Amino acid sequence: MSILFSPLELGELKLANRVMVSPMCQYVAEEGKATAWHMIHLGGLANSGAGLLCIEATAVEPGGRITPGDLGLWDDETEMSLKPVVDAVRRHSNVRLAIQLGHAGRKASSEVPWKGGQQIAVADGGWIADAPSALPQKEGEELPRELDRAGMIRIRDAFVSAARRADRLGIDAIELHCAHGYLLHEFLSPISNTRTDEYGGTVANRMRYPLEVVDAVRAVWPKHKPLGVKVSATDWMDAGWDIEQTIEFAKALKTRGVDWIDVSSGGISPLQKITLGPGYQVPFANQIRKATGVTTICVGLITDAQQAEDILSSGQADAVAIARGMLYDPRWTWHAAATLGATVEAPRQYWRAPPQRHAAIFDGVMNGAR
């Protein structure tokens, strides 16, 4: 039996298989509000056959957007814009639905990728970003504002408010974004956090604020709904955040009832030096899983069904998250099931789609039509 297509429990949430559609920014929201694109995009991926679909990185306040086109969940309008999308997914798919909540920190006020992705200056319509320390993401950018305690409380409470809104929408799970050089990762990394108060210096101090956010969200997020955290396991830089510190962070997350850790890497600085290759981040997930026993999800250049199966069958991770591969092939999970001799759920309207040799991949039978 395929491990990839075996069930997985995240807390009390049962997934049909171990394929997750990664949260992937689309950069087409309007003042944080979901649009018809989100209906089309998420609606299609909801029928991909994956066990879990995660809505893209969603800002908890306007200043926490990476770009002006980022999705948000900070007021009634942004919440109501997501409701028809969530309702449509629920009506036409049994996929479990998560949302990734985050704050861009010093990487906020950036152009969308197809316009270069660089910082938008205040004079050009951008805004001053918030950060643990007044250090820019790269030389020449406008300095971010170093957060004082009032600012930290404001953002923590914004995460809490967004979690409550996600629950009202009927979202099944939350993933908090502590990776890729965004705000919570910025507190963790000594590259971006040079504070001299109780939130800087030692590993314990640098972990303090992200853990405060986790605690605050866990306190309001229903106990039967799982909470995950996305981490960058290493900054890929000397004297930066690394796997040993990530393991310490993961142990602290485990004591707080976090149900999974989604293991990525990098993003803290353009000076990072990453060695890319198929499954290049899987060893980090493996180390965290073995050191802590926390359920881990691995990401990063996982494109092949047998590759994903081998990762899970060898115990390196508990699930795989597919991003670019799912955009390129929105039926990736169907094709993986065909390769591995497994079955997957699909809408009845599509049961006649597979070629005859793979007709058994769907949990259903088409008896013909007039």
Q: Give the residue numbers marked as catalytic.
A: 182
In angstroms, the CA 66 to CA 92 distance is 31
User: First and final CA of the chain: distance in angstroms?
Assistant: 36
In angstroms, the CA 268 to CA 264 distance is 12
Distance of CA 147 to CAs 120, 133, 189, 341, Å?
20, 7, 15, 53
**Interaxial angle between packed helices 305-313 and 332-340, expressed in degrees from 0 to 180 and rounded to the nearest 10:** 70
In angstroms, the CA 60 to CA 55 distance is 14
Cβ atoms 48, 326 nearer than 8 A? yes
In angstroms, the CA 308 to CA 320 distance is 7
Closest CA to 145 of 117, 108, 177: 108
Strands 8-10 vs 13-15: parallel, antiparallel or unpaired = antiparallel
